[in-house]
A and B are shown apart, each in its own frame.
Chain A
Amino acid sequence: MAFFGTSPKAAALADEITDFTAVRGRSLFRDALNRFLRNKAAMASLLILLLIVCFVIFGPFFSQWSNEEIDWVVMGDVKGMGGPSLETGHYFGVDDLGRDLFARTIQATRTSLLVGLIGAAMALLVGTFWGVVAGYYGGKLDSIMMRFVDILLAIPLTLVLILILVVAGRSFTALFLGLGAVSWLTMSRIVRGQTLALKSREFIEAARATGVSEGTIIWRHILPNLAGVVIVYASLLVPEMILAESFISFLGLGISEPNTSLGRLIAEGAGTMAYGTLWQLLFPLFFYVALIIAMFFVGDGLRDALDPKDR
């Protein structure tokens, strides 16, 4: 584990930091950061993400319409008059009801970004915790925890979501509860599988033989080695969450009109794509795809950066 070695600078800082893991974490983090910064694709993707965030923040200043206002003039002839145009102020055209797609896309991207990131983060935290504990401790505990996951995997999701709606009402919290309920199960299975494999590796066995505490083993040896797979799967989850949101909203949980999300805009656009209003699909899809691509390379970059073996 030579790469954990402290640099002079870190050694100077060591007085201030009493926590052992923090020192480790810090140098690991710096190491990773350097590697991440050197990854061109990841940096470019980060830039894309940044641009999307800027679009979401500053876009409304350029918008001539709000996301709920109906342009009554255009509404009667969306196909003919509702296309993207600078004159009407509808830069991205209008949706089927004559609402400005530019403003709606901004609001939808904001929502979906939040939904995707928070949903994936929930899956990451809960799923990793569950999977590591089950995989590392094994035996009866593993059996119970994994049978619990089996049950949850098989329980009809629709019911779970409807019950969350009944108990928690319609709110953003309920939406995230719902997203969390969908997302962490597969993650926990993946993490458990990897943990099982890691547990029997020489270096873990060596650590255990030398009397390193279990918490430390998990924190210092298991988790860093899981990072690659976990991050890649989490970045896969982001688009999945964005789409799952539209089903959750269908059940009445989550975002309600006039607010919308990318998943819903895409679904609406896909429904009418044969009727000459293709922009209704293309603009939201563009942002969705940009997000996926960005997530892909950022995830990839993080994986490379955090891979303890890869220096």
Chain B
Amino acid sequence: MLIYILRRLLVAIPTIALLVIAAFCMMHLAPGGPFTSERPLPPDVLANIEARYGLDQPLWKQLWDYFANIVLHFDFGPSFVYKDRDVNDIIATGFPISLTYGSLAFLAATLVGVALGIAAAIRHNTWVDYFAVSLGIAAQALPNFIMGPILILTFTLWLGWLPGGGWNGGQWQYLIMPVIALSTSYMGSIARITRSSMLEVMNANFIRTARAKGLPQRSIIWRHAMKPTLLPVISYLGPVFVYVLTGSVFVDLYFSTGGLGQAYVNSALTRDYAVLLGVTILYGALTVIVNLLTDLAYAWFDPKIRY
């Protein structure tokens, strides 16, 4: 197992390098650059700026320098748009914020979602099931861009209970709305997948056998049904975990949280090359790690799985 983990981590390095190369190429293929603006810069000025950011170099050289700076100095370069800041700084301020509200939202979505899904499956076709199903649908029916304004209208304007946005170091008042907004949409999906997976497992032969043996329902569910039920849920949670940890652009936009989600989407729209690459690397590293964890979780949930 240890060898497997080490091998996967080793493979991660070329994977991320490939990711950077792919993102780099796409970035330069996309129309417009960081300095394309409504007011086209005079050629002299553009040349000065490009020289400052090394964009006058051939592409392979830019890419090489980029890797070299990361490996030698752990320096991901300056932001091309926010001139006072560099990528290390942007990630260092944004990521902890995204991480905070993201992991809370993930926790909330997973716990509530899985609980709802299991309850619905166990009490299949009873009011518990219907309640869970409608809650799941309601959560899905209110996408982020409706949730955001509704929450702010309700809790800030009408009730006056919560500040309408901001972060303030992550005080709880500022966390509530982002976490609710972010978790609901995933909650519905998680409940849905858990429910159907559980229903399927409860019909499987080994559960029937267990039932035939006269084991109590509780023990069947917790001892036997739980692990296989969660298998597809885990597959779904993997990518969700990465999305949520790097922050949600909607949350950042509506609640001014200052997380990485907005920085990420913005960097693509403004062609802020270094920021885009830097966040992509973070994203890629998280994806690789989380997917490794997912695969390990598979093996733990189903010891028969071999890679």
CB proximity to B under 8 Å, residues A113-170: 138-139, 142-143, 146-147, 150-151, 153-156, 158-160, 162-163, 166
- For the complex, give the distance between the alpha carbons of A139 and B7 in Å: 12
Q: A190-B232, A266-B146 are in contact. Are A150 and B15 (CB under 8 A)?
A: yes
Question: B1 an interface residue at 8 Å Cβ cutoff?
Answer: no
Q: Chain A contacts of B189 at CB under 8 A?
A: 236
Q: A150-B15, A153-B287 are in contact. Are A233 and B193 (CB under 8 A)?
A: yes
Q: Which residue of A lies closest to B238 (CB)?
A: A189
Q: Chain A contacts of B283 at CB under 8 A?
A: 154
Question: B239 an interface residue at 8 Å Cβ cutoff?
Answer: yes
Question: A285 an interface residue at 8 Å Cβ cutoff?
Answer: yes
Do B236 and A243 touch (CB < 8 A)? no
Q: Which of A154, A197, A300, A303 contacts B287 (CB 8 A)?
A: A154
Q: A151-B284, A158-B265, A166-B30 are in contact. Are A273 and B200 (CB under 8 A)?
A: no
Question: B141 an interface residue at 8 Å Cβ cutoff?
Answer: yes
- For the complex, give the distance between the alpha carbons of A273 and B238 in Å: 35
B41-49, B57-65, B108-116, B297-305: which lies at the A interface? Answer: B297-305
Q: A159-B27, A233-B236, A271-B149 are in contact. Are A303 and B302 (CB under 8 A)?
A: no
Do A273 and B298 touch (CB < 8 A)? no
Question: B162 an interface residue at 8 Å Cβ cutoff?
Answer: no
Q: A163-B30, A193-B232, A292-B140 are in contact. Are A156 and B196 (CB under 8 A)?
A: no
CB proximity to A under 8 Å, residues B243-270: 264-265, 267-269
- A190, A243, A303 pick with most chain B CB within 10 angstroms: A190
Q: Chain B contacts of A201 at CB under 8 A?
A: 304
Q: Which of A138, A267, A293, A304 contacts B145 (CB 8 A)?
A: A267
Interface of A is mostly: helix
Shortest A227–chain B CB gap in Å is: 10
Question: B39 an interface residue at 8 Å Cβ cutoff?
Answer: no
Q: Which residue of A lies closest to B7 (CB)?
A: A143
Shortest A231–chain B CB gap in Å is: 8
Q: Chain B contacts of A293 at CB under 8 A?
A: 137
Question: A75 an interface residue at 8 Å Cβ cutoff?
Answer: no
Shortest A17–chain B CB gap in Å is: 30
Q: Chain A contacts of B22 at CB under 8 A?
A: 151, 155
Q: A147-B15, A155-B19, A166-B29 are in contact. Are A228 and B239 (CB under 8 A)?
A: no
Q: Chain A contacts of B280 at CB under 8 A?
A: 154-156
Q: Chain A contacts of B236 at CB under 8 A?
A: 186, 189-190, 233
Question: A71 an interface residue at 8 Å Cβ cutoff?
Answer: no
Q: Which of B140, B228, B276 contacts A239 (CB 8 A)?
A: B140
Q: Which residue of B lies closest to A197 (CB)?
A: B302
Name the interface size band of chain B: 35 or more
Question: B216 an interface residue at 8 Å Cβ cutoff?
Answer: no
Q: A162-B31, A309-B205 are in contact. Are A155 and B23 (CB under 8 A)?
A: yes
- For the complex, give the distance between the alpha carbons of A271 and B152 in Å: 12
Q: Which residue of B lies closest to A297 (CB)?
A: B133
Contact flags B206-248 to A (C-beta < 8 A → 1, else 0): 0000000000000000000000100110111011001000000
Q: Chain A contacts of B268 at CB under 8 A?
A: 156, 158-159, 162
Q: Which of A142, A159, A292 contacts B26 (CB 8 A)?
A: A159
Q: Chain A contacts of B27 at CB under 8 A?
A: 159
- For the complex, give the distance between the alpha carbons of A158 and B239 in Å: 17
- For the complex, give the distance between the alpha carbons of A143 and B294 in Å: 14
Q: Chain B contacts of A239 at CB under 8 A?
A: 140-141
- For the complex, give the distance between the alpha carbons of A228 and B197 in Å: 8
Question: A53 an interface residue at 8 Å Cβ cutoff?
Answer: no
Contact flags A251-276 to B (C-beta < 8 A → 1, else 0): 00000000000000011001101100
**Chain A residues within 8 Å of B, Cβ to Cβ:** 138-139, 142-143, 146-147, 150-151, 153-156, 158-160, 162-163, 166, 185-186, 189-190, 192-194, 196-197, 199-201, 228-229, 232-233, 236, 239, 243, 266-267, 270-271, 273-274, 281, 285, 288-289, 292-293, 296, 300, 303-304, 307, 309-310
11 more contacts with CB within 8 A, not counting A153-B239, A189-B238, A197-B228, are A143-B11, A147-B15, A150-B288, A155-B19, A156-B26, A197-B298, A197-B305, A274-B157, A296-B192, A303-B200, A309-B205
12 A–B pairs (Cβ distance < 8 Å), ordered by A: A153-B242, A155-B22, A189-B236, A190-B235, A194-B231, A270-B146, A289-B137, A292-B141, A296-B192, A300-B196, A303-B199, A309-B205
Q: What 8 pairs between A and B have smallest CB-CB spacing?
A: A200-B304, A158-B268, A154-B284, A193-B235, A190-B235, A232-B196, A289-B141, A154-B283
